[in-house]
Each structure stands twice: as structure tokens, then as C-alpha cells.
């Protein structure tokens, strides 16, 4: 459930209560801790979007789902379009821009100190996990040429992890090897960030020899 920050607090409470009307199996309420020990907040997690999406489809003449990483489409069809006749669903996809010869998938189960890198919801805030992820990323940035990209499950989790990393001094250490860019929340600023990232790789500055 996403609620923009400019929406009045009382209306946010109303939206949260409305979310609780969903079938219990379709969602879960989480209590999210923050950096402040005395501050936490509730978050409703929609686990099954089927019923909510069915309302949208039933009221619309047509619905277009577009995205860059939607494969495998079979999962989308099961979760979102299971109630729609097969003949009413059209799919279109373009070929991948990166050749298969340039792709290598490697799973890293543990960090340098042996900590299990478990990023399930109940484990992702664990300090040991965040710490050893930090160690792994720092080590990889030393050996990976040019650019490296880290993906996080959400902006809030990225902020939490990076605050921990900054406090530990690891970000300053990585910056000696690569420029660091953070994806902005504002869509209009993303393009500028990507251009700066590409430029840092193509034209590394003195003192930061290996991209971003």
C-alpha cells in the first residue's frame, strides 16, 4: 500500500483501515522499525493482488500492463489475470538488449564472514546480514571493472542499509574506488542520475579510477 506524503494524516489512517477490509489471506500487517528506537510504524502488505486487480479490470474497457522486467509472464497471468479468458489476453515482448554471452548469474549464499545473506522480510533488517552484505559489496567493487549496480527491495530499505554502511565508513572506502550514485525518488531526476553514472564509467576522474 502506497500513500503519498502530502495526503493528510487522517486520510492515511482511513486508507489503512480500508486495506484491512481485504481477506486476511491476501495481506499482512507489519510493524516496521526505524533508526529511532522509539519510532515504528504500521505497514499493510498486499500479498495477493488478484481481487483488487479484478475490480480494476471489471470497470475498465481495456487494461495495459507495461514494464521492463515482467518475465515470466505466467506468474502475472496467474496472479492478476486468472479470471480473464485466455482469448482476451494479448502479450507482446521485445528481445533482450544484452546478449546471452554477456550474462553470468551467480548466487552468493553467504558473506565474507560466513553470515547467511537471508533477505526475507523477517531477516533483512538484521545487523549481521547488513554488515556482511556491506563486506561483500565492498570486496566485489574492488574486482569488478567499470560500473556496478546494487538493487534494493525499496527506497526505505536502501536508506536504512546505506545509513548503516555510511556509519561504518564502508561507503567512503568504496568511493576511493568508484563514484557512488543513489537513484532519486523523483522520476524526472532518474535520467540525470543515469547519465552521470555512465559518464563516471566512461571518464573516470583522477583518484576514482574505476567507474561507478
Structural domain span for residue 185 = 106-202
Structural domain count, the chain = 2
Classify residue 60: in a domain, yes or no: no
pLDDT of res. 3: 45
Mean pLDDT per block of 10 residues along the chain (212 residues) reads 59 78 75 72 79 85 83 80 87 79 89 93 91 93 87 90 92 88 87 89 65 59
Closest CA to 44 of 78, 76, 8, 18: 18
Same domain, 112 and 42: no
pLDDT of res. 186: 85
Q: How far is CA 117 from CA 136, 141, 167, in A?
A: 10, 18, 20
Cα(200)–Cα(147) distance, rounded to whole angstroms? 9
pLDDT of res. 212: 61
pLDDT of res. 202: 83
Amino acid at each position: 500500500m502506497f500513500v503519498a506524503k502530502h495526503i493528510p494524516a487522517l486520510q492515511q489512517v482511513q486508507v489503512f483501515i480500508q486495506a484491512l477490509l481485504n481477506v486476511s489471506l491476501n495481506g499482512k500487517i507489519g510493524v516496521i522499525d526505524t533508526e529511532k528506537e522509539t519510532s515504528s510504524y504500521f505497514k499493510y502488505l498486499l500479498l495477493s493482488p488478484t481481487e483488487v486487480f479484478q475490480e480494476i479490470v471489471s470497470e475498465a474497457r481495456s487494461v495495459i500492463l507495461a514494464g521492463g522486467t515482467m518475465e515470466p509472464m505466467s506468474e502475472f497471468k496467474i496472479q492478476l489475470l486468472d479470471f480473464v479468458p485466455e482469448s482476451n489476453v494479448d502479450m507482446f515482448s521485445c528481445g533482450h538488449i544484452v546478449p546471452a554471452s554477456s550474462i553470468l548469474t551467480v548466487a552468493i549464499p553467504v558473506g565474507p564472514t560466513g553470515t547467511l545473506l537471508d533477505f526475507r522480510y523477517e531477516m533483512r533488517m538484521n545487523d549481521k546480514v547488513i554488515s556482511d552484505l556491506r563486506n561483500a559489496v565492498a570486496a566485489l567493487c574492488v574486482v569488478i571493472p567499470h560500473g556496478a549496480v546494487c538493487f534494493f527491495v525499496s527506497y526505505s530499505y536502501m536508506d536504512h542499509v546505506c545509513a548503516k554502511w555510511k556509519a561504518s565508513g564502508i561507503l567512503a572506502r568504496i568511493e576511493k574506488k568508484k563514484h557512488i550514485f543513489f537513484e532519486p525518488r523523483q522520476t524526472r531526476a532518474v535520467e540525470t542520475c543515469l547519465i552521470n553514472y555512465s559518464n563516471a564509467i566512461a571518464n573516470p576522474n583522477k583518484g576514482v579510477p574505476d567507474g561507478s
